[in-house]
Structure 1
């Protein structure tokens, strides 16, 4: 899927999504949430994250926060260390296209990533996006309810 296609799809399939762009990367928020995206799209390498070699023409990485049980079901067999970057030394090829893997830095916080997903992988990703969006919406509404 092209970057524009996945961005458009998320914008049209979910209500009240606000896309914040910073340095060519996209942070997908519910309404006017400022701090916690439910998904991100990274489009290039930077000083903190160059493991997916995203400086290649047309490459991007979709990142989605999912639930602990699903994450553990998918990746319990992959060794990790606690904390940020816990999957960096796990032997994962973070450059491989259309392959779901733990986020290189935030995997221990139950984020998944995929470089250049294809249309065939979108149904699984849509399930993850559904979860992440619902969680973001619930959190937002809880924090903005009338007291």
Structure 2
């Protein structure tokens, strides 16, 4: 519960550099997808179908313009918008089904970049990122300012799990 209510470092923009690139990560117990859409915009949403909650992305990273739920075949674009459902005429959906994005993927409540470092929070009322980073922003600035070409995260990762 601690991590789900605060800002969490998710990834660096260089890890989702290309159009349609995606990366999965966690905020607390929630699986998150960070995806770059065809316009180059980064989006972060819960890695679960809005219909029955099945996990959409089972790989750590990849390149896809859409995600199809393995349960009932709902398909979403990499901005989280519901594109199509199986047999819409036969499924018995109500008249106002999927109006104004009602069945799009759930966006991460707060998602921001600081100098290419991506942070997210499931709490919409979390304090501003700049305030959360405080003096640590100076360390990020020093790291990024070392190269005029910017920063790139190399392949590989370390994961730590505390069972407690």
The structure that is helix-richer by fraction is 1
The structure that is strand-richer by fraction is 2
Task: Tell me which interval the TM-score lies in, with the shorter structure as reference length.
Answer: under 0.3
Report which of the two structures shows the higher radius of gyration computed on alpha carbons.
2
What's the TM-score, normalizing by structure 2?
0.24
